[in-house]
Amino acid sequence: MESTEASIAVFNKTLRRLRLVTLLTLVIAAIALAIAVTARGPQAEVRARAFVLVDDSGEVLARLAKVKDGPVLVLHARRAGADVLIGSAVDDAGIAITVNGQPRLTLLTGRDGYPSLGIRDAKGGNRLLIGLDKKDAPSLMLRRENGSPALIARAGDPMVQFLDEQNKVVLSLPTQETTRASRRK
């Protein structure tokens, strides 16, 4: 009986030592892993197809992803019921504010380098357009609900035109007579 008890005691003692050795091995491995990770330092870049920022409830607050035309950052302004988009749109790059999926305000610079500010109505029609031309001269266009221009103004070659609903010039400043007379001088 003593030999069985002695054998069990030796077995238990060996088991405790084995557990201790296993625990020490795991601790050493964890320390080595921690040293290896921290020794690498910060990563130079992080690659992903999209980044999504969510709040504590899981609601999406922002998204950075590639869409058809290029990268776009979308910031969700939940209280305003709007989204702010920053990035590529067709041949332009810029900022847009959308409400219920409709763009309401755009600030864009096209591939040609000419910046523009557009304000749209609730149906998405571009009603006010302000921009710079090839010579960096400002221009302004007010449009009717159907999209036809109602007023065009340019500062580079100064001109203001009022157009009727058939796109015919009703009033032009300076008048063509004034322009001809100034050229003759």
pLDDT beyond 60 at 1: no
Q: What is this structure's pTM?
A: 0.64
Per-chain mean pLDDT for the chain: 83
Task: Note whether 84 and 74 are within 8 A (CB).
Answer: yes
In this structure, are 2 and 28 located in the same domain? Answer: yes
Helices within 41-126 (DSSP H only): none
pLDDT beyond 60 at 184: no
In this structure, are 25 and 4 located in the same domain? Answer: yes
Q: Look at residues 84, 50, 88, 52 and name the one whose alpha carbon lies nearest to residue 70.
A: 88
Q: Please give the structure tokens belonging to residue 132.
A: 């710079």
How many domains does one find in the chain? 3
In this structure, are 27 and 67 located in the same domain? Answer: no
In this structure, are 90 and 108 located in the same domain? Answer: yes
Q: Residue 12 sits in which domain range?
A: 1-43
In this structure, are 141 and 175 located in the same domain? Answer: yes
pLDDT beyond 90 at 162: yes
Give the C-alpha separation, 92 to 70, whole Å: 10
